[in-house]
Amino acid sequence: MKLGKEDLISLYRKMVRARKMDELTIRGLQEGKVLSFYHSNQGSEALSVGGAAVLKKTDYLWAHHRGHGIGALIGKGLDPKGFIAEHYGKVTGSCKGISGFHMAEPEDGILGAGGTIGYQFPLALGNGLAAKKAGKQQVVLACFGDGGSNRGTLHEAMNLASVWKLPIVWVCDNNGMAQYTPIKDTYPKEDIADLAAGYNMPGIVVDGLDIMAVYEAVYEAVERARKGDGPTLIEAKTARYRSHSEGSPDVSHTQTRSQEEIAELKKRDPVESFKEKLLNQGILTEEMVAAINREAEEEAAAAEKFGVESPPPDPSVIDNLVYR
Amino acid sequence: MKQTIYLAAINEALREELRRDEKVFVIGENVQQGTFGTTSGLVQEFGKDRIMDTSLAETAVAGAAIGAAMSGYRPVADMMFADFLYIAGDEILLKAGKWHFVHAGKVNVPVVVMAAMGGGMKIGAEHSMCPEALAMHSPGLKLAVPSTPYDAKGLLKTAIRDDNPVVFFYNKGLLGLPGEIPEEEYLIPFGKADIKREGSDVTVVAISRMVHLSLEVAEKLKNEISVEVVDPRTLEPLDIDTIIASVQKTGRCVIVDEDNKRCGVTAEIFAQIVENGFDYLDAPIQRVAAADTPIAAGFLEKHVLPQPEDIEKAIRKVME
Ligand SMILES: Cc1ncc(C[n+]2csc(CCOP(=O)(O)OP(=O)(O)O)c2C)c(N)n1
């Protein structure tokens, strides 16, 4: 799979947009515009954007909870306005302000999001089953974290997905942490991808800070799934630059993560390092970088304005909504 | 007496019981740091083997606690959000709850399953529930729902010493609530309601955070209507006698809870009052509870969860 110049620029643009939206959401929380809470995606953009960018509109996507799916939404080509408005609790949000921070865009293969980490495994299994039955070459990209990989639902779903040879790509965002608990204390091996062997599917470890590596690995796995060759497990080693959720302590068990540790992780910032690479290769120029930044800022400002100016939902939006 | 807050009272109960009985341990996700502060600071005294951070795996958390309880320990499993009890439904409802009975009393499960329930944070359908009815509906489980620091500490200590499985739901909306507790050790027995405010015109049976909303309304109405607020404190066992005695005195009753109205705790208490005290009632009982919808987030939360205005309206209705 060879990414062309335009593809690379498009990926970079999406990463910058995802970062700006993340910053906007953090600010919104601080300013009281975001009503619920927020789990920043910073450090994980190469994976969230790059993985979803491989998909077609008709493919299914279960975004990882980090960033409440913002990277994946942008990666798949969605307008982030509905994301911001949802976080602001407004009626123009993806779910009219009812979910608060979960997106649902069924037309684009996003069938919702849940609050219980690991909920997505069995549902993705069902999407894969439906995709196979329908025979339309759709693929399911099911994203989760290292913490999520500890859930028992993973076993049940991965097992059957392999038995049934379903078109599912399991993508693990391993940032080393699950809230305050490091994965090294909850999983006995180095690589979560090693789980794949037990389910007789390929298990691939990829540099999750390198969007090209992510894109290529996901692309291969998606092609394989589309051909009917069954699921793949991809583990991307990413980083978490901020605390688990905004305002919560940044600790490993009870030990505060040091500034040095975070600075070390940031040395390979996925957005910055991709920019450097594309500048070095002459694919991007400084002018282009500035323009992309400006556009992303304008987009964020427009989304903010849209969110602020949109009305809150009338309480009647939830009337008669429990059943169809 | 000394001043404390709700979460610190819970923390103190755990600390005292951990000191008292080496079979007690705390297990759950991120309990060393503590998501809601209730388990914070314990690892420094008791170490990682007794304050155990687990993987993100509620089935394993509850299962490990229940299995260890069957094997002679007295674990406290922290499930973080009460909504996550559903993930360990088999372990908590079908195993911990049933096994003493189905094995003819040969097996004991002295576990405490604790979790934070309740709305107010506007964080939607899967992080705001009060799934009290889930536990109350399941034979074999006891259920404590403290509304004050005093009750929280006394009930949690009793829960840990109980030879039965106890679900202990503390309320996210009360974590910082101040209150007094005795300097010396104390326990609060299960099945004993507490009259949080005496009154003569209407009985308000209120649970957990709803106690405080009801007290607020009672205060507001004090020159017009004399409201008695009864806090059951435990829902299994339920002190129906104290509730009936209050209804006998007032002749009117409002039941307030944050779980769903349909098949919720208010429905059960309603039924028991009617069964046992129908003749005392001068007006139909009113219920104030969460709407029978999932809990909406953000601005919409207040349209789903009970508000003080709803309680006032219900009180006025029974007084008509
Ligand atoms: C079933 C369940 N358990 C616990 C939580 C609380 N929680 C939310 S995110 C999270 C950590 C998830 O870790 P991981 O899957 O590694 O993703 P990360 O946040 O590190 O990106 C926890 C414990 C939850 N939402 N659902």
ipTM associated with this complex: 0.96
Which residues neighbour A35 within 8 Å (Cβ) at sequence distance 6 or greater?
Answer: A87, A88, A89, A100, B122, B297, B298, B299
| Chain A nearest CA to B239, separation (Å) | 34
Please state whether the predicted TM-score (pTM) of the whole model is above 0.95: yes
Domain edges within chain B: 2-181, 194-319
Residues 191-210 in A contacting B (C-alpha not used; CB under 8 Å) = none
* CA separation for the pair A109, A211 (Å, rounded): 22
Quickly state the pLDDT bin for A2 (edges 50, 70, 90).
Answer: confident
Active site residues of B: 127
At B243-266, the pLDDT tens digits run 999 999 999 999 999 999 999 999
Compare CB distances from A100 to B32, B60, B123 and report the shortest one's residue: B123
Of ligand 1's atoms, which has the minimum distance to the CA of residue A183? 16
Q: What is the pLDDT of residue A302?
A: 98
Closest protein CA for atom 23 of ligand 1: A179
Superfamily of domain A5-316: Thiamin diphosphate (ThDP)-binding fold, Pyr/PP domains (3.40.50.970)
**Closest-CA residue in chain A for B85?**
A116
For residue A180, the chain B residue with the least C-alpha distance is B30
Nearest residue on chain A to B40, alpha-carbon basis: A254
> Which ligand 1 atom sits closest to the C-alpha of A144?
15
Q: Measuring from atom 19 of ligand 1, which residue has the nearest CA?
A: A178
Which residues of chain A make contact with B32, given a CB cutoff of 8 A?
A: 180, 253-254
Provide mean pLDDT across the span A5-28: 98
Residues 88-107 of A with CB under 8 A from B: 88-89, 97-102
Between the CA of residue A206 and those of A120, A236, A260, what are the distances in Å? 22, 5, 24
Three-class secondary structure of residue B74 per DSSP: strand
Residue-wise pLDDT tens digits, A230-250? 999 999 999 999 999 999 999
Residue extents of the structural domains in chain A: 5-316
Topology of domain B2-181, CATH: Rossmann fold (3.40.50)
> Is residue A1 predicted with pLDDT exceeding 80?
no
Reported as a single tens digit per residue, the pLDDT across B85-123 is 999 999 999 999 999 999 999 999 999 999 999 999 999
Interchain proximity A98–B300, CB inside 8 Å: yes
Q: How far apart are CA B87 and CA B56, in angstroms?
A: 11
Q: How far is A96 from chain B (nearest CA, A)?
A: 10
Secondary structure of residue A170 in the 3-state scheme: strand
Q: In CATH terms, is domain B194-319 a member of 3.40.190.290?
A: no
Residues of B in contact with A185 (CB under 8 A): 53
pLDDT at B30 over 90: yes
